[in-house]
Each structure stands twice: as C-alpha cells, then as structure tokens.
Structure 1
C-alpha cells in the first residue's frame, strides 16, 4: 500500500513538472490573431522590424550615417553601377554637416531614414526628449528633400516598448536588422562578405555603415554574391509591409492573412 502511494505521488510530481514546463513555454509563445500578436501569460513586448516574411527572394541593404563622410559618394556610385536602391539612416548632426550629400542620396533614388538627432540611447530619454530627437531630424531632412522620413532606426539598436510606441505614434516604422555586417570593427573585407552572405535569407535587412573603412571594397563583392544567389536588393521602404501586418516574437514582419 505504501509503495502504491509513493508511486502515485511520483506520478503527480512528474505531471506537475511537465505542467510547469508547459506554462513557461506558452508564456513565451506568440499566437497570431487578426489584430496582431497575443502573448499568453505574459505582456506583449513591442518590437521593431528586424526582417520581413516574403516568398520573394528580396533583401534590403542599409547604411547608418553618423560620423564621417569619406565614402558616401563612392557608395552611391557603386549602387548606381549595379542599379540598386538602398536606405540611409541619417543622424541630425550628420545632416547639418553634409546637407548636399543628403540631397544627393535622395536625388539618386534612395530611402532617407531618421537615425535621431544626437545619437543617444533612446531608452534613457523622457517621452518629450524622444519625440524631440525624432522631430528635429525629421524637420532638417524635410527641409532639404521636401519629404518627411517615415523610417526610424534607434541608435545602438536601443529600444523598449515606450520608444517603439512613441515612434509609431509619430508616424514611423521602426527598423532594426537581422544581418549585422560588423563592418565598424574594421576586420577587413572578407569577414564582412562572409558574415553577410552566410546569414542572409529572404526578407533580410542588412546593416552597414557609410564610413566603414573597407566599405568601398566589400560592397561590390557583397552585391555580386547576393545577385549571383538570386537575390533582388531593394530599399527598406519597398521590402516592408505598410499595413495589415504583425511582427512575431523574433521581430519578423508578416502579413495578416
């Protein structure tokens, strides 16, 4: 009788462990609905767009511009050579220093995105300061190209729910990346090429920097490798969905069906 009771207790104990694991798993599982994502047993975390779910073999390459301008015109010439349009995220003080290059980026058909005014950690700012970071640079860009940016990339990739919601309230699609070239580490050409081509997939958003040391060397190689693999390179504005979408718990933007 005692052995039977112990055996039943052991079964109950195991069932409780399984139930506990199941609850923990569910708490981090996203359930798709017509209105977006519901996080079961946990609060929904707001995410930027890291990549896009698409059946088409499309990717976007992007450049953050904050410090320096040695290679911007060279980048534009390379993109022209391959008939590719890209996305440039510009910081306010960079816009102030290189207004003619802002115009040139836009003139050549590329997206001009907002990358803040002073390149701060956005999560450390008040609501008012976040909106100010958005608006000042947006006004500077609009004054130069007569178009207000609708794409925003947080400096350092730093965000939280508050930052994401404030950006959306101010008319922005918040953009991250799923392929980081790490070009700012200046490791050379081949490490950048290998890292990008190894990690890219349909709908990827690739991060480069306009003043990375080897950008004029690795960019043509990356483009040719991607094209050889059948990828079409488009600006982020042509890759993302503008409405009727949701973002899953990995940051992948998907169309509601």
Structure 2
C-alpha cells in the first residue's frame, strides 16, 4: 500500500510540474476564451475548506421583481462639466436616478449636490477617498462612509443609505460594516463602460442590448465620463422603448425581509 501512495504522489508531482511548465500556454488559451465570450468570470459565492463553507457576503447587483423597473446610476468621483446636462436630460423625461458621490466630489461641488437633491434624485455614498475598501479595516470602512454621509447631511439634511464601493471592490468585512451603519451595499449588473470613452453610440448599444438587462437591473454610468451626457437621451428612450420604467435605486431595492441569491440578486424571503 505504501508503494501505491508513493506512486500516486510521484505522478501528482509530475502533473503539477507539467502544469507549471505549460502555464503560459494555458493562460493564453484562457484569455482567448474569455475574450471570445466562451468563458465568463463567475461571481464567487462560497469557499469550501476542509468541509467547512465560508459564506461570501454579496452586495446588491440587481433585484428580483415582476415589475419592468430598472435603475440608472451615476458615480460622481471626478469632473463636473456635464452634470447640468445630465440633470436637464433626466428632467426632460421625468426620470429619477441615483448619484453615488465621493466626499471629494461633494466638497468640490456642493451646489450641484443640492441641485441633485432638489431634483428628486437619490443621493448615494461612494466613500470619502475612493479607496479599495477590501483593503481597509472595518473601522476604516465605516469612517470612509461616514464622512460623505455627514457632508451631505450638513448640505441637504438628507441621511444617505445607499453605498457603492469604489471600483466595485468589496469583501465580507465591508458588506457587514455597511449594513451595521444602516446602509445598503449597491453594485450593478449592467455596465455602460462609459469611462472607456468608446463613444455615445457604444454606450447606448451596450446598455440597451446588454445580456443582463431585465427587471430589477441596476445600470452603472459616470457623470464625468466623456460621452455619457451625449448618450443619455438615446439610452433613456431605448430603455423605455423596451418597456422599462426607470426608477431610483431607493425605490427599486427591498428594504427588509430579503436574501441574496448566488448571482447577487436581492430576493424576497
């Protein structure tokens, strides 16, 4: 029996060595498959070690609903040239959205924060300094959220309760900290990629024809991206032509009695 185990171990070592030697070829092949859309990056739901399951806490990527409602959101972390154009277009269609603002943006453009609030849009929290939140302690996460919260409270009297982590970067520590201070962690399932500056037509097509688009979807845009304001009119009409009603995230999400499924969808218990 010892000889059998010895043989198995030797074979395993050879197999590992071969895989290491071929890692460049394997990585290249995988990259091609990802680029071709044959493979897609899965969301990690749990990690199993030694028979124990460590649950991966998920923020809200989208919402389970029978209503044809979706939410449009804008991250505001840099630039402000197009904010008024975006607000004017939203007013033209009487559409309410959610703006996730960093503390630096709030400090730089306080009057625009007030305009956004006065227009009836959600004010969302995007952290104070746009850091990678998964690298911070729980206390540091709370501080990053609390500072913009206090700034907006002073400016508008509004207590924000929606938080989007910068870069979409999170871990269990952040998700738990967010809920502890009475916030909902918000991601997205439709990415406009507007920050890549591919053009207004690309933004519209990417959003309106996105494979994930459906009831309860949350769309990510940026108020400071080069072509977003140009794309917004056609984006709104394209989504409405598909039968969707655009609502702010505060109206879309479930406030209690929910659970998160394996794909980050907020579901009714």
TM-score by length of 1: 0.83
For residue 83 of structure 2, the aligned residue among 52, 67, 72 is: 72
Q: Deviations over 1:133-175 (max 9, x none)?
A: 0111100011111011000000000000000001110110000
Q: Deviations over 1:198-256 (max 9, x none)?
A: 12111100000001111121111010011111100000000000001111111000111
Q: Are 1:63 and 2:80 counterparts?
A: no
2: CA distance between counterparts of 1:202 and 1:115? 24
1: CA distance between counterparts of 2:205 and 2:99? 22
Aligned position for 1:163:
174
Aligned position for 1:208:
221
Tell me how far 1:41 sits from its aligned partner. Answer: 5.2
Aligned position for 1:244:
257
Q: State the number of aligned residues.
A: 220
TM-score by length of 2: 0.80
For residue 122 of structure 1, the aligned residue among 101, 108, 133 is: 133
Q: Is the 8 A contact 2:131 2:166 kept in 1?
A: yes
Aligned position for 2:202:
191
Aligned position for 1:95:
106
For residue 222 of structure 1, the aligned residue among 205, 227, 235 is: 235
- Structure 1: runs of 5 or more not aligned: 1-27, 31-39
Match of 2:250, SS? Answer: helix
After superposition, the Cα gap between the structure-2 partners of 1:29 and 1:170, relative to the gap in structure 1 and judged at 3 Å, is closer
- Structure 2: runs of 5 or more not aligned: 1-43
| 1:8-47 equivalent positions in 2, closer than 5 A | 42-47=53-58
Q: Structure 1 segments of 4 or more deviating over 4 A?
A: none
Tell me how far 1:100 sits from its aligned partner. Answer: 0.3
> What is the alpha-carbon root mean square deviation over aligned residues?
1.4
2: CA distance between counterparts of 1:41 and 1:237? 36
2: CA distance between counterparts of 1:29 and 1:189? 34
